[in-house]
Structure 1
């Protein structure tokens, strides 16, 4: 019997030394390693972590079966189970970012039960304080899940970008189709003021001209004196019907287009027509380009189609758009302020959760979210994230891949 007791105590001491070796194990593990790479802790009969000092042993477990996650603990002395009213326990959790959760324990059946829910993620530094017969026992150890450490240069090379969580506005949008056309207010059709013989012509089709520039000279039939034809606007010559030696008659000789501002035409059919109003924001997209504008006015569409035509100016100073280009337009028809939202590019699936990765220093950790409304670009956050949290937006899937590669366990 004494030999058996000695063997049990030896095993418990080994477990204690194993735990002690893990105390405060943390630090930078290089590119994309989950910090949950400590040696596997000794487990007890209830699948909880064993914490031992001498012949006093505590088994601490997070219990999740049919209840929100809660702490439960059992204790033995010299291999004999203690009643829950014979000892006391306190647990303090320090999460990434410094948030501290404290749990006091009360007797229940054959165990001590922690008061309060152990919120996800179960990733924290743990401090355990137990008391038995006026003696205090303390243990500390890391218990991480869903956490990745990545050096700044590696994060930059991986293309990780972050945003600060905060309030915002969800946009209800409808999608309309149409095209970009020349703005009729920015097209000039030039005729000769006095009929006569065209003596010279300067620009060819496609050439840019400036307002006041001489584009042709005409000899008047009446006075036989030459006078200049001047461009009334800055723009590009898109039509030319004039050559030297020809008579002007009463035809259009040049058409000049100022293409720096074009006009958007979108078709709104009856199902959407009631939602569309002047002043609403529009995001237009085509061929990898996009631009923002606002509805200027709305007219009935000509023809037999029961539709309205939405008109909006398009800034083309960069030359990204061309007349008659087909586009799609996303019209903001309603705005809903929300207290907290996230960029949809940040959302990842992890186990049974939708998560984002928050960043604190070189550490990145999952935050399971409860989500609300979405406009396709941003989504309302009901719980799981705090205003001011820095979260990863672009390439967050790389962090998820690192966790999956490292086999991040849901272990306590």
Structure 2
């Protein structure tokens, strides 16, 4: 128990510093002893073509993966007593067992001075290898491990580091249009309070910033014609945002007060013509205010038919529901994601899970306590989901949160691509 606790604590501390205690074995570096006694971390003998040189008595076979200008393919060079052999005198088959149990098999055909594998060696080049060869009736066999982008983490360490996983599967990709906008008071949520008849202001009973209710008396004016004093009620409920007169002044055309309902708000977004074609009344919009933890889900309530001559944009109004905790105020700059469509895809991963490995998009799969890189071809992408066209299969388990820790450890170890 003490040993497990120490290992877990050490992993967490090092991960926080951008490191880890993951045991990565780079491509071409055996993780377990093969029949030649190669231990983890030891290099292997190389042949004239810089490949792995396998020996059995006077016969030897140099194993390479050639990928210059072509899809990765095996090229094996046979030797007898250190001298090149006619590849037509040798037969070879190869079996690759990948993490998770998938097996790739290759036959070989003689070409020039080497045996060429019949098929593409798919990425990652990480597998347990078995090679069977024959020459002049004599059989030869080798097994070894050749891993890249692979590491082992105990469940306790994975939990402590915050790693989470999910299964590859179908998803619905929401098409979004992100726009900047501002909050404004609706026309019906704003009222300018004027005197009904010109006259002297006898009383003003509310102050700037004060809340009022509809029908509440907020001023009294003595008519210049009848010399009768009449009361002026608030036409709407809201907050006094302007006070433009004082007792003793003369009420005429100018508003005494301006009242605004803080809950009668909408958002205004400016759409360029190419974007306006995607936006429709009733569409869902996720509106985000600065500093707000979560967006407010709203609806497009109107799209104005005219185009602003100065900006060549169309204005869309988005209804903001009331009682939103005061996060929206008139004049506030906001952002909105318009959900303009959706598309179901059969294979997808969480976008946050995607990392890079040798400048390619990857995710990290999990099989038991082992994690390994998977190069993927991506399709459509949203902030939540990314469609995967190839490189991973439905049902595979992949790392969602914490994938960057695995990537950092691989980069730190200098994962090679030798064979």
Fold shared, TM-score > 0.5 on shorter chain: yes
**Aligned mate of 2:317, from 304, 307, 311:** 311
**Aligned mate of 1:299, from 304, 314, 319:** 304
Q: 1:171 to 1:48 in 2, by over 3 A?
A: same
User: In the alignment, does 2:411 pair up with 1:404?
Assistant: yes
Alignment partner, residue 290 of structure 2: 287
- Deviation string 1:244-289 (CA, Å, 9 cap, x unpaired) is xxxxxxx999989584x85333233444333321122322223143
Q: 1:272 to 1:114 in 2, by over 3 A?
A: closer
Question: Unaligned regions of 5+ residues in structure 2, if any?
Answer: 1-19, 30-40, 193-204, 218-232, 244-254
**Matched pairs, number:** 377
8 A contact 2:190–2:258 mirrored in 1: no
Shift of 1:131: 2.8
Question: Unaligned regions of 5+ residues in structure 1, if any?
Answer: 1-29, 190-200, 217-228, 241-250
Alignment partner, residue 67 of structure 2: 64
Q: 1:42 to 1:313 in 2, by over 3 A?
A: same
Q: Distance in 2 between matches of 1:406 and 1:31?
A: 11
Q: Distance in 2 between matches of 1:110 and 1:315?
A: 76
Alignment partner, residue 145 of structure 1: 148
Over aligned residue pairs, what C-alpha RMSD do you find? 5.0
Shift of 1:92: 0.8
Q: 1:327 to 1:341 in 2, by over 3 A?
A: same
Shift of 1:411: 1.0
User: In the alignment, does 2:386 pair up with 1:383?
Assistant: no
Q: Distance in 2 between matches of 1:125 and 1:302?
A: 65
Shift of 1:334: 4.1
User: In the alignment, does 2:123 pair up with 1:120?
Assistant: yes
Shift of 1:68: 1.8
Residue pairs, 1:259-408, within 5 angstroms: 259=263, 262-289=265-292, 290-300=295-305, 307-315=313-321, 317=324, 320-375=327-382, 378-408=385-415
- Deviation string 1:279-323 (CA, Å, 9 cap, x unpaired) is 223222231432333323333579876654323333564554444
Alignment partner, residue 40 of structure 1: 43
Q: 1:188 to 1:94 in 2, by over 3 A?
A: farther
* TM-score for the superposition, normalised by structure 1: 0.69
Residue pairs, 1:208-247, within 5 angstroms: none
Q: Distance in 2 between matches of 1:207 and 1:124?
A: 73
Shift of 1:367: 1.9
8 A contact 2:128–2:143 mirrored in 1: yes
8 A contact 2:351–2:382 mirrored in 1: no
Q: 1:385 to 1:291 in 2, by over 3 A?
A: farther
Shift of 1:98: 1.7
SS at match of 1:401: helix
**Aligned mate of 1:173, from 165, 172, 176:** 176
* TM-score for the superposition, normalised by structure 2: 0.68
Q: Distance in 2 between matches of 1:292 and 1:390?
A: 32
Alignment partner, residue 76 of structure 1: 79
Alignment partner, residue 114 of structure 2: 111
Alignment partner, residue 155 of structure 1: 158
Q: 1:237 to 1:156 in 2, by over 3 A?
A: farther
- Deviation string 1:152-171 (CA, Å, 9 cap, x unpaired) is 34334444344433334444
Q: 1:237 to 1:153 in 2, by over 3 A?
A: farther
Shift of 1:122: 0.5
